[in-house]
Amino acid sequence: MNTHPLVARAASAYALLIRVASSLKCPFLLIVRLYWGWAFFQTGKGQLSDLSRPTEFFASLHIPFPAFNALLAGATECFGGLLLVIGLGSRLVSIPLAFLLCVAYVTADNEALRAIFSDPDKFLSATEFQFLFAVLIVLIFGPGKISLDHLIGKKFGPPASEPTTPSA
């Protein structure tokens, strides 16, 4: 089947675009993990260094057990952030971080959450959204090839040709 030269050129250009864009996946995921992981670490470390401030804030929001929850949130952000930075357990640690951010939306920034449809800019510009978006990127796409998760998977994971489901 003969294709028009213009169609062939467009198909070739599109294939090149796909290859180039795909080659940016790992560096992009690394940048997301480094930037947001470090931000989580800094935030968590700040909370853990003076637990009285987040405890008072949580108490003002009527969060039960404010001291315990301040410690839990700070530790989750601090150590979860470090794990994101090095790319270890990235998808797993994204789950409690996402949960923490959803709780933050509901309790600390409920006004922005309720504005999701009436004022989307308010919802999207909330700090929780930005952190949540980064965590969901890592959860969905993984940490990328530049991570400890990838190295461990290469070393201990099943070969690509073998099925990953248990045999009967």
pLDDT number for residue 157: 80
Neighbouring C-beta atoms of residue 112, cutoff 10 Å:
19
Distance CA 70, CA 44 (A): 10
Q: Are 95 and 136 in contact (CB under 8 A)?
A: no
pTM of structure = 0.84
Q: How far apart are CA 90 and CA 139, in angstroms?
A: 7
Residue 2 pLDDT = 72
Contact yes or no for 55/74 (Cβ under 8 A)? no
Residue spans of the domains in the chain: they are 25-148
Residues of the chain with pLDDT below 50 are: 162, 168
Q: What pLDDT was estimated at residue 159?
A: 59
Q: Which pLDDT does position 160 carry in this prediction? A: 55
In terms of Cα–Cα distance, which of 44, 25, 158 is closest to 97?
Answer: 44
Give the chain's length: 168
Return the H-helix or E-strand segment holding 93: helix 90-107
DSSP for residue 89: S
Q: In the prediction, which pLDDT does 90 show? A: 96
